[in-house]
């Protein structure tokens, strides 16, 4: 499959394949289904950073890395352990010379953030086990004699004995070097701390300080002393915990160190606001105040009212029972719903989306800034908006009992969800109430009960509680049928655990956290948003087959998926990956009768999220093969984003296309390549936004562990290596690695039982009179863990709880401590 981004770059005669490089992992993730390409060390990276679009040259085969079936844990973790501190992320590969080969590159590589996308079929995770599943599958082979056991005691060295099997039984990992950076997507900014150089008598010591980035993927940076605080040289310890932002200004080809300039002092490391500002800066998020030129584009006469001439152009729905359903804290209300029963037993269902494009004139300074920001960025404690708050929270937001401009899709539907008629148009609504998901859920769960007025938000006098309640019930029934049909038609979802925090109102510190509950009311809203997005996609593509801004989701990476299927077979699990629907059915039914089914499904879901690719915006006129338009997870031929224009610029473009398709405005004066460039930028900013959200969640969870820990939870084992094992912590949804060397063990023993990797832990008894306790750890074992803060700011580790003197069989009989609600990403 020819990737979308190729037309933007020259096609070289030596080009063999196009793949994605995640420098966070120093791996090139190949889109054609082959194994990833390993970029071995800083020199091989050739000054490229995470996110950069680069050209790489494959090294000769004799320099490819040999992956042994029983590879060392440290070696494996270098490939995929993104959250480990720098000292634990080294690899043990032979350093090969990068000189002496011809200069013709072999591969164009585009970097990607290791994030998930909202409708990719999977949700947000802490991607600690990014490639763990593949490593596990590689570690097991059918051929030859299977001698994979090893005994290790505290006094023995960690590395395992060399593997003596034939080369044919080993897997080769392709390696390469970066020869050119086509596009610098990384901001070249980093947060970190300042240190004095170690060599006090050197010339460098008199000119430079050493900037040590928090992100170990960024090189250490020499910073001129004149940029440092005046008393830094005489009082360096005063700045030992001060967080700075540094920007790389130069990086010589033959140097492991870059040259940089301090941009700003943020404050104390480990505090929320300095850390947050550092995250935003590193990922290039514009969080500055909007300029006066931008604010001048907004209505100046407030309070603003809809002009009479605009009212006359639109379908007036202000008397209809229209309402919003959102998180209780939401201020930017993009979407509203309505449901009116008709005399023939059918229903008129409407999705009403804020008409943001009315307030954002094309080509204006406001439009330019919104296009550049491309998305709002949601942090745990605040939002960095794409648009000024006057628009986000007032003029565009569908606040109750206020006339609002909207774009609507209205269907006539049967009770079974069959579409009989469809209408698109510009409308005016007046929402009668602002419901939270919890309000709507209480109506769904109590269909016959009259909800007390005091338990609900204010409702406009033109409509009653009973009318809203009945509309919710009708929408719920239709949504259930739509959802059933969608999955019967082959859709996929990979539900993953998502953390939500409760914050102290005064300090802003996390007081606690819980797994977000995905309710029927969430599913109700999602179904109709998906329906609207699909309907609009078809409408704009019919009108502008060369100019439609759509959203595609490529199939999963075939090689990685195949490795995972092989691993599941080795674990005795039959998973059908022939289609999205087949995979969804397998994951839904595979653990049906097991009392740990939910926890085991979470583990397998996390594993199958890894091969999934990201959904991408694209211009229909640039991608020639319409088979590539498809959305894999939704299993539909066309899809777009229409329902969130307050927080996504792509939706504003889609609104403009829809208005032109309906004859409400002229056709967009933009060439397909220019629209593709905007789509690429939206993709980049969306990926960065996702990563920032994950880091914000990680920041707050790290603070919670530090302030309220240690935290105990049950965990399920996801992967077993010869000196460590990986777990999914069920109460908090985080993935961590537990090292045998960090436990109070007398010895540990790795072996394969059949094809399954297994660690036997022999605990040092607390009482010398007791016998050592043995504990067997294998895939899907349920264990007790403790999350403990480390000395490094906001870092935490997972430690296995010591079992009783008779071992740990009791752990196998405990029900996972987890709420049984599903999670599914927002559409």
| Alpha-helix runs per DSSP H in 412-490 | 437-445, 465-488
DSSP string, 587-619: HHHTTTT-TTHHHHHHHHHHHHHTTPPPPEEEE
Tokens of 173: 């990992």
How buried is residue 558: exposed, middle or buried, by Cβ count under 10 Å (0-12/13-18/19+)? middle
Strand, coil or helix: 579: coil
Q: HSE on the CB side for 239, CA within 13 Å?
A: 22
Cα–Cα distance, 774 to 805 (Å, whole number): 8
- Closest by CA to 761, choosing from 779, 782, 780, 739, is 739
Tokens of 713: 């939870």
At how many degrees (to 10) do helices 649-661 and 520-543 cross?
Answer: 50
How many residues in the chain?
A: 827
H or E element at residue 149? none
The residues that bridge with 57 in the sheet, in sequence order, are 177
DSSP string, 253-269: TT-SSEEEEEEEEEEET
C-beta separation of 33 from 559 below 8 A: yes
Cα distances from 541 to residues 216, 549, 639, 657, 661, in angstroms, run: 44, 8, 10, 9, 9
Question: What pairing do the DSSP bridges indicate for beta strands 53-58 and 774-778?
Answer: unpaired
326 annotated as ligand-binding = yes
Read off φ and ψ for residue 394, nearest 5 degrees: -125, -75
DSSP label at 667?
A: P
Question: What pairing do the DSSP bridges indicate for beta strands 315-316 and 419-430?
Answer: parallel
Cα–Cα distance, 607 to 605 (Å, whole number): 5
The residues that bridge with 204 in the sheet, in sequence order, are none
Cα distances from 661 to residues 539, 543, 547, 649, in angstroms, run: 8, 6, 11, 19
Q: How many CB atoms lie within 10 A of CB 160?
A: 17
Tokens of 227: 């940029």
DSSP label at 395?
A: I
- 3-state helix, strand, coil split of the chain in percent (to 5) is 30, 25, 45
335 annotated as ligand-binding = yes
Cα–Cα distance, 400 to 352 (Å, whole number): 13
Strand, coil or helix: 360: coil
Long-range contacts of 328-332 (CB under 8 A, 24+ apart): 328/436, 328/437, 328/438, 331/392, 331/393, 331/397, 332/376, 332/383, 332/385, 332/392, 332/393, 332/396, 332/397, 332/646, 332/647
Cα–Cα distance, 385 to 573 (Å, whole number): 45
Cα–Cα distance, 789 to 783 (Å, whole number): 20
Tokens of 472: 């919710």
Strand, coil or helix: 173: strand
Q: HSE on the CB side for 464, CA within 13 Å?
A: 5
- Closest by CA to 34, choosing from 9, 10, 50, 58, is 58
Residues tagged in the binding site annotation for Mg(2+) = 326, 335
Annotation: binding site: 326, 335
């Amino acid at each position: 499959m020819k990737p979308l981004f190729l037309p933007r770059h020259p096609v070289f005669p030596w080009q063999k394949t196009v793949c994605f490089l995640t420098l966070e992992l120093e791996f090139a993730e190949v889109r054609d289904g082959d194994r990833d390409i390993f970029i071995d060390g800083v020199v091989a990276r050739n000054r490229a950073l995470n996110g950069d679009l680069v050209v790489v040259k494959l090294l000769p085969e004799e320099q490819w890395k040999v992956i042994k079936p029983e590879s060392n844990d440290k070696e494996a973790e270098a490939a995929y352990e993104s959250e480990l501190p720098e000292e634990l992320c080294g690899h043990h590969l032979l350093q090969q010379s990068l000189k002496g080969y011809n200069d013709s590159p072999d591969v164009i590589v585009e970097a990607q953030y290791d994030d998930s996308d909202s409708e990719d079929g999977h949700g947000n995770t802490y991607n600690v086990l990014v490639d763990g599943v593949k490593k596990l599958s590689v570690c097991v082979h059918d051929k030859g004699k299977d001698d994979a056991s090893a005994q290790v005691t505290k006094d023995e060295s960690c590395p395992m004995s060399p593997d003596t099997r034939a080369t044919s039984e080993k897997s080769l990992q392709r390696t390469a070097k970066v020869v050119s950076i086509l596009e610098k997507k990384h901001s070249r900014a980093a947060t970190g701390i300042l240190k004095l150089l170690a060599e006090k008598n050197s010339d460098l010591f008199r000119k430079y300080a050493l900037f040590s980035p928090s992100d170990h993927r960024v090189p250490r940076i020499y910073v001129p002393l004149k940029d440092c605080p005046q008393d830094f040289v005489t009082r360096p310890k005063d700045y030992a915990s001060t967080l700075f932002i540094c920007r790389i200004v130069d990086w010589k080809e033959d140097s492991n160190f870059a040259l940089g300039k301090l941009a700003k002092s943020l404050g104390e490391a480990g505090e929320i606001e300095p850390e947050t500002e550092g995250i935003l800066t590193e990922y290039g998020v514009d969080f500055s105040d909007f300029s006066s030129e931008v604010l001048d584009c907004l209505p100046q006469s407030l309070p603003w009212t809809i002009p009479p001439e605009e009212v006359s152009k639109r379908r007036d729905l202000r008397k209809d029972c229209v309402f919003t359903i959102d998180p209780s804290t939401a201020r930017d209300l993009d979407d509203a719903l309505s449901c009116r029963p008709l005399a023939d037993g059918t229903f008129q269902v409407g999705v009403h989306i804020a008409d943001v494009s009315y307030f954002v004139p094309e080509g204006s300074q406001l439009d330019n800034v919104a296009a550049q920001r491309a998305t709002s960025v949601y942090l745990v404690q605040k939002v960095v908006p794409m648009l000024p708050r006057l628009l986000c929270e007032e003029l565009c937001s569908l606040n109750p009992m206020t006339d609002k401009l909207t774009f609507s899709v209205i269907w006539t539907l049967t009770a079974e969800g069959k579409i009989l008629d469809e209408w698109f148009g510009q409308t005016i609504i007046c929402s009668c109430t602002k419901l939270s998901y919890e309000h709507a859920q209480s109506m769904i769960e109590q269909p016959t009960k009259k909800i007390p007025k005091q338990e609900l938000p204010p409702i406009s006098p033109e409509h009653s509680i009973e009318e809203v309640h009945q509309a919710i019930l009708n929408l719920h029934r239709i949504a259930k049928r739509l959802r059933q049909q969608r999955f019967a038609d082959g859709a996929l979802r990979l539900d993953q655990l998502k953390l939500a925090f409760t914050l102290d109102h005064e300090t802003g510190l996390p007081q606690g956290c819980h797994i977000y509950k995905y309710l029927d009311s969430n599913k109700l809203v999602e179904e109709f948003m998906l329906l609207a997005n699909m309907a609009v996609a078809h409408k704009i593509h019919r009108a502008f087959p060369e100019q439609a801004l759509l959203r595609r989701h490529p199939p999963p990476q075939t090689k990685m998926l195949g490795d995972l299927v092989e691993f599941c077979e080795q674990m005795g699990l039959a998973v059908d990956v022939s289609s999205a629907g087949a995979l969804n059915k397998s994951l839904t039914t595979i653990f049906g009768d097991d009392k740990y089914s939910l926890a085991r499904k979470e583990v397998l879901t996390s594993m199958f999220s890894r091969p999934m690719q990201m959904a991408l915006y694209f211009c229909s006129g640039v991608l020639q093969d319409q088979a590539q338009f498809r959305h894999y997870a939704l299993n539909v031929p066309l899809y777009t984003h229409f329902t969130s224009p307050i927080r996504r610029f792509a939706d504003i473009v889609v609104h403009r296309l829809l208005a032109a398709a309906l004859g409400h405005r002229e056709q967009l004066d933009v060439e397909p390549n220019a629209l593709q460039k905007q789509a690429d930028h939206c993709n980049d900013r969306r990926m960065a936004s996702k990563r920032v959200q994950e880091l914000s969640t990680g920041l707050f969870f790290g603070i919670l562990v530090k302030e309220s820990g240690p935290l105990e939870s049950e965990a399920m084992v996801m992967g077993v290596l010869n000196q460590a094992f990986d777990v999914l912590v069920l109460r908090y949804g985080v993935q961590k690695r537990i090292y045998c060397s960090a436990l109070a063990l007398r010895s540990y023993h790795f072996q394969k039982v059949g094809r399954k990797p297994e660690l036997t832990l022999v605990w040092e008894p607390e009482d010398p009179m007791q016998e050592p306790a043995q504990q067997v750890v294998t895939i899907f074992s349920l264990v007790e863990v403790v999350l403990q803060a480390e000395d490094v700011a906001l870092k935490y580790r997972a430690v296995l709880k010591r079992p009783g003197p008779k071992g740990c069989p009791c752990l196998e009989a405990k029900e996972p401590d987890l709420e049984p609600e599903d999670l599914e990403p927002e559409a």
